[in-house]
Structure formats: C-alpha cells, structure tokens
C-alpha cells in the first residue's frame, strides 16, 4: 500500500469530514462552539489543507492559506500515524506529535481537535461490539452513512490521481462529469479532466454519467459490502445512466479505496 496515497486519502477525504461532522452532529458543534481558529496541515509529497473553525462551524479548504496554527509532518507516514496511531506493546495507541508553529495555539490540538477526531472515529469506525446497537439509531445511521459516502467518493479521486492502479483506471476515462448521491440526500460530483479526478459536493446538470442510490439504507449496504450493485440495478435501488464506461472504472477504483480504508 502506498503511504502517500493513504495520506492523501486521510487528509483530503477523511479529515475533510470534520466540515460535515460539525454541521450534522450537535455534540461536535458544541465542542468548538466557543472556538475561532484556523489549523493547517502540511505533509511532504501530499500537500496542505486548512480547517477553519468558527463558533461551532468548520470549513475545509484544500491548499495553503493563512492559519493561526500550522502543523508540519516529516513524511506521509508521520501524518498517517496521527490519523491511525500505531499501538505500543500493551495495545494502547502511541502519541504522535507533529511539528507545530504557534505554541500558544497548540492547546486546541490537544483538546478540542482530539475530541473532534474521536467523534469522527465514533461515526466512521464504530466498535464491532457496539456497531449494531449504534446503527439501530436513525440519526447515528444517517450521519454514519453520509460521512462514509463522502469519504468513499473523495477518496476515489485521490486513488485515481495517486495510486498506481488507480491512475491506470483514470487513463481509461474520458473527460466529463459524474453525478452521484442519494435523491433528496447528499449530492456529489466528480469531474474527469485530462485523466485526473476532482470531487466536490453538490448536484450538477451537465453530467456525462450518473450513479444514484435509492435511499440511505441501500447506500449503507453497498458501501459496507452488504449488497451488490448488480442486484441493486435489478431491483431499481442502484441507478446508473450515461457513460457506463466511466462508471465501470469508478467501480474498480472504489475497490482500491476499500483496501486503503480497511
């Protein structure tokens, strides 16, 4: 597995979920309700991203901008270890400390940010012995499914642009736009240009291909490997239109995404 691609997924697909987490989860919004700060993550060979927290809200921006707290990592692996800390001999996560600029703001990293990261894990990686009970709650189920959908499609773009096999899939895609999502729910779009993929939230009309899940339940089942796309097409729960060759390559890349996020 490529550490740089994994770091890109962690930074631009997983960590970007904090924007939506603060919007959908009142507990997360409450953690940063009295906070106004910008935090920038800088990872060699991966890139930069900034999280702007403003009294309960969060905005994710790809790239550099002014930030009061700047975090620097020595490598892609160093950043990956922050997102998924290695365990010590007793099975406890090791503390991973980035290089930071502005020591007076580091308290946010150790306090509110850590709590937000734990809240994100709570939704994206429920403990196996508690998952069934948690997912039985409709609101938890909604947040879990929406965040998983966002993660998968934004991660797909990073795989297409960085992973060796993903790049081969992207080379087989013509320029155009793919609309995806759930009717009445989250909408996303992916632009394919010069064999590079760029993801964004929101619906589009000028699509070349469409991929829609009938509802949250089917989206959840597909994303967690509990349903098949072929079965869904037969039942009408999984709807595809337009350039099916583009969607075929997307399906291949989603399998690669699953390996990175496992």
Return the number of other C-beta atoms located less than 10 Å from residue 123's C-beta: 20
Section 195-213 average pLDDT? 95
**Could you tell me if 105 and 149 lie in one domain?**
no
The answer to whether residue 220 scores a pLDDT higher than 70 is yes
Most confident of 38-42, 95-99, 237-241: 38-42
**What pLDDT is recorded for position 155?**
96
Residue 10 lies in a domain: yes
**Could you tell me if 194 and 162 lie in one domain?**
yes
Residue 170 lies in a domain: yes
The answer to whether residue 236 scores a pLDDT higher than 90 is no
Boundary residue ending a domain (68, 98, 125): 125
Boundary residue ending a domain (90, 125, 160): 125
pLDDT in tens, 140-195: 999 999 999 999 999 999 999 999 999 999 999 999 999 999 988 999 999 999 99
pLDDT in tens, 7-64: 999 999 999 999 999 999 999 999 999 999 999 999 999 999 999 999 999 999 999 9
**Could you tell me if 73 and 147 lie in one domain?**
no
Sign of CA dihedral 245, 233, 250, 165: negative
Please give the C-alpha separations between residue 11 and each of 66, 72, 215, in angstroms, as whole numbers.
18, 13, 28
What is the CATH number for 72?
A: 3.30.1050.10
Both tokens of residue 171?
A: 């080379």
pLDDT in tens, 101-145: 766 677 888 889 989 999 999 999 998 999 999 999 999 999 999
3-class state of residue 198 by DSSP: strand
**Could you tell me if 168 and 79 lie in one domain?**
no
Instruction: Show the domain range for 221.
Output: 141-261
**Could you tell me if 106 and 156 lie in one domain?**
no
CB 190 within 8 A of CB 178: yes
**Could you tell me if 7 and 121 lie in one domain?**
yes
**Could you tell me if 27 and 107 lie in one domain?**
yes
**Could you tell me if 88 and 166 lie in one domain?**
no
Residue 133 lies in a domain: no
Residue 166 lies in a domain: yes
**Could you tell me if 90 and 172 lie in one domain?**
no
Specify the number of domains making up the chain: 2
Give residue 95's pLDDT band: very low, low, confident or very high (50, 70, 90). low
**What pLDDT is recorded for position 149?**
95
**Could you tell me if 148 and 236 lie in one domain?**
yes
**Could you tell me if 108 and 207 lie in one domain?**
no
Sign of CA dihedral 24, 29, 31, 35: positive
Residue 63 lies in a domain: yes
Residue 151 lies in a domain: yes
**What pLDDT is recorded for position 80?**
92
The answer to whether residue 87 scores a pLDDT higher than 80 is no
**What pLDDT is recorded for position 8?**
98
**Could you tell me if 16 and 119 lie in one domain?**
yes
């Amino acid at each position: 597995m490529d550490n740089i691609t994994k770091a890109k997924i962690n930074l631009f697909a997983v960590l970007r979920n904090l924007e939506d987490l603060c919007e959908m989860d009142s507990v997360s919004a409450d953690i940063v309700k009295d906070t106004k700060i910008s935090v920038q993550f800088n990872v060699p060979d991966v890139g930069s991203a900034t999280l702007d927290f403003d009294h309960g809200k969060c905005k994710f921006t790809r790239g550099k901008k002014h930030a009061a707290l700047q975090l620097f990592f020595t490598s892609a692996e160093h950043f990956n270890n922050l997102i998924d800390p290695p365990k010590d001999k007793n099975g406890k996560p090791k503390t991973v400390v980035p290089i930071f600029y502005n020591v007076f703001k580091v308290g946010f990293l150790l306090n509110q940010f850590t709590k937000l990261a734990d809240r994100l894990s709570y939704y994206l990686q429920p403990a196996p012995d508690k998952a069934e009970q948690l997912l039985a709650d409709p609101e938890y189920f909604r947040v879990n499914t929406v965040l998983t959908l966002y993660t998968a499609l934004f991660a797909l773009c990073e795989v297409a642009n960085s992973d060796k096999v993903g790049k081969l899939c992207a080379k087989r895609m013509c320029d155009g736009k793919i609309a995806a999502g759930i009717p009445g729910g989250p909408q996303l779009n992916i632009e394919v240009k010069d064999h590079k993929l760029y993801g964004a939230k929101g619906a589009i009309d000028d699509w070349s291909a469409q991929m829609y899940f009938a509802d949250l339940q089917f989206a959840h089942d597909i994303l967690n490997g509990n349903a098949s796309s072929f079965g869904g097409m037969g039942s009408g729960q999984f709807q595809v239109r337009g350039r099916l060759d583009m969607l075929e390559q997307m399906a291949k890349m989603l399998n690669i995404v699953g390996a990175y996020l496992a």
